Each structure stands twice: as C-alpha cells, then as structure tokens.
Amino acid sequence: MTINELDIGWAATENQRRYLRWELLACDEVRGVFHTDLKSTLAVLYDGDRFDFGAWARSLASTHKQGAPS
C-alpha cells in the first residue's frame, strides 16, 4: 500500500469534482482519500505501487480531457 499525491487542479467545476469523487469511489485500489495543505492536491492511500497509481491518475486526467463531464 502506498500514499500518493493526486493533482486535482483540473477539477474546477462542480461536475468535474463530482466526476472525480465517483472515480475515487469506484476504484477498488483506493483505500482512503485525505485533504492536504494544497487546495489542488489530495493524498490517496492506494493499494498498489506508485507505477500503478501513476497510470490510474493519468487515466483520470486524460479521460477528463477526452470528454468527461466539464
């Protein structure tokens, strides 16, 4: 299990934050999510290694850019 930082700066609108919330809830590997001192960063307790987390985090941003709700 790893603790990772997730950049959520792209989630500026309510719909984007809702999309992010559902993606975090739907991911079986996400065990916990915590606020950090930075407004655009979450700490994520992830049941996997950093490489897997990085791939998952990139998929969030790329899905959003490719037409997820804005």
- What pLDDT, on the 0 to 100 scale, is given for residue 56? 92
The conformation of residue 13, written as its DSSP 8-state character, comes to S
Top pLDDT among 21 and 67 is at 21
List, for residues 9-59, the tens digit of each pLDDT value: 988 899 999 999 999 999 999 999 999 999 999 999 999 999 999 999 998
Please give the domain boundaries of the chain with CATH numbers for all domains: 2-65 (3.30.70)
pLDDT grade, residue 7 (50/70/90)?
very high
Q: Is 28 exposed, middle or buried (0-12, 13-18, 19+ CB in 10 A)?
A: exposed
Q: What is the pLDDT of residue 61?
A: 76
Q: Evaluate if pTM is beyond 0.85.
A: no
